[in-house]
Structure 1
Amino acid sequence: MAPKTSQDRETSLPASSDGVAALDRAIAILNAFKPQDRSLSLAEISARTGLYKSTILRLAGSLIRGHLLERLPDGLYRIGSGAFRLGAIYQRSVATADILLPIMYDLAEESGESVAFYAPAGNLRTCLYRIESKHPIRYHVREGDVLPLHVGSGGRVLAAFSGKAGEPYETIRRNYYFVSLGDRDPDTAGLSVPVFGPGAALVGAITLAGPRMRISDDFIGQMKRPLLTAAARATRAFGGDPLTLERVAYQNQA
């Protein structure tokens, strides 16, 4: 017997009296669109989802009536205005702290070190949130503190993803993290990664920091993946695409 294709598997999905299977397929159609896609053809949606074109056409009708999808005059499809409305409702309903603090607490618990979130502010950066280490000797930055943008791991990451040219910014954009050893303060070290929102817009940087005597090579190697994973969680919650951060996290397994 020949192996089943993706479209064979579509027809083998169990029928659902409550419409869950149809809803899953409709969500798959919407998720076929990536941030760089202005529009997609029926064939492209079919290739990305593994759904029959007839199935897509049937579900597209409902999505179009709900303004979640639009069919253009040339036959291509794009995300509809209803998705923008839902996105705006989501942004208003979720406070930044509600997204970041649980993620930061998890990271502080796993690492044992202080965790901070920095947002860019022109040529400076502001510490919006901070979870203190339980160690008696720790890196002290308070919420609301304003620091240089081009110094320290958090500042370097923000500068890199704000378009700063040259090194180390080119390398940071390739690696999606930066380790700072005494860059801003000779006695401290930090490891930072970026967090993104819709359209890969830079939201800020998550930083693990502490005294250099504790931020060893082993610590950095162990914490790269959890930090990148935390940034991917935050990026997803802010409406960004976490796939690149997730891929880099996988590549940085300890």
Structure 2
Amino acid sequence: MTDLPPSQAPGDGVAALDRAIAILDAFTIADRSLGLAEIAARTGLYKSTILRLANSLMRGQLLERLEDGRYRIGPATFRLGALYQRSLVAMDILLPIMRDLSERSWESVAFYVRSGDVRTCLYRVESKHPIRYTIREGDVLPLLVGSGGRVLAAFSGEQGEPYETIRKTYSYISIGDRDPQTAGISAPVFGPGRTLLGVLTLAGPNTRVDAAFLTRMKRPLLEAAARATRAFGEDASMLDAASLDTPPEPTTDPGFGEHQIRVSGTQQANVAELRAGGRSSDG
């Protein structure tokens, strides 16, 4: 017997994690449960090692011990599997919509999901402007500040203002709410049964992204949220109606027209280069 599966070299990865993975990998579709001896035979691990790691896996609900002492896969694996499937589908649906919105606005677009009392950036598409609002996938932000957090809270049942208004308008503009140097607008995305999946957020530095610009972007954002909601299989008529209550986007390209005049001459040159097919430096 060894402390590592025969297929792995002793120095590969973190040993304890490798062993825990080996225990989970011992289960197949045909197995309702496995005894300690069966796991030891399939992994090549000592029984004492399996018992120690099994306790950690059970605390994480990745493994369960039955009354007869046998083990079965725990409920957390179902949740992780569901998240994986959802992530794959969500990525395929959301990223093209987010890219379109970013192209239309020339600003950064992110998709946030609620995680308890915080929100997490699941996907993001960055602005083409040299100076831009940058958020990384996986970044965790407060829930009750910023346009994304406010919209998530509103459609999770938060009471009072501004949440009552958000539920009527399906969007929220925030200027300096979370960060004094940024501004943004967000709208919800729903799934089957009107389940709140997350929010689309369009954001940028407030030297360029002001209330007037965000108001102009309200209709394109709501149209993007409606498009995503329909793609997830839910009726988007409420988002369509909300978008019709907003003024239409001007014909001027927000990347190069009125939206650009607040950018410095150097940044204008960089943007002009981008328009001609060049690349900007990182912001």
TM-score bin (small chain) = 0.5 to 0.7
The one-letter code of the counterpart of 1:122 is G
Partner of 2:179: 185
Rate the CA distance shift 1:93–1:114 in 2: closer, same or farther, 3 A.
closer
Output one character per residue of 1:46-71: Cα deviation in whole Å (capped at 9) or x when no partner.
xxxxxxxxxxxxxxxxxxxxxxxxxx
Secondary structure of 2:235 counterpart: coil
Shift of the 251–167 alpha-carbon distance from structure 1 to 2, 3 Å rule, reads same
User: In structure 2, do the counterparts of structure 1 residues 216 and 198 end up closer, same or farther at CA, with 3 Å as the change threshold?
Assistant: same
| Pairwise CA RMSD | 1.7
Q: Deviations over 1:216-238 (max 9, x none)?
A: 23312221110000000000011
CA offset at residue 93 of structure 1? Answer: 11
2:242 is matched with: 248
Out of 123, 137, 154, the position equivalent to 2:131 is 137
Deviation at 1:213, TM superposition (A): 1.4
Aligned structure 1 segments of 4 or more residues deviating by more than 4 angstroms: 91-94
AA paired with 2:137? E
> Which structure is larger by alpha-carbon Rg, 1 or 2?
2
Which residue among 192, 195, 201 is the counterpart of 1:198? 192
Name the TM-score, length of structure 1 as normaliser.
Answer: 0.63
Task: Write out per-residue CA displacement over residues 113-157 of structure 1, whole angstroms, 9 at most, x where no aligned residue.
Answer: 000000011111110000011112111210000111111000000
Match of 1:118 in 2: 112
The 3 A distance-change label for structure 1 pair 251 and 130 is same
1:13-32 alignment to 2 at 5 Å?
A: none
Residue 71 of structure 1: aligned partner: none
SS at match of 2:129: coil
CA distance in 1, matches of 2:212, 2:150: 22
Matched, 1:228 2:222: yes
**What corresponds to 2:151 in structure 1?**
157
Q: 2: distance between equivalents of 1:206 and 1:190?
A: 10
Q: Distance in 1 between matches of 2:87 and 2:141?
A: 30
Aligned residues: 165
Matched, 1:101 2:98: no
State the Cα distance separating 1:106 from its structure 2 match.
0.2
* Contact in 1 for aligned 2:183/2:210 (Cα 8 Å): no
Letter in 2 for 1:138: R
Contact 2:175 2:210 in 1 (8 A): no
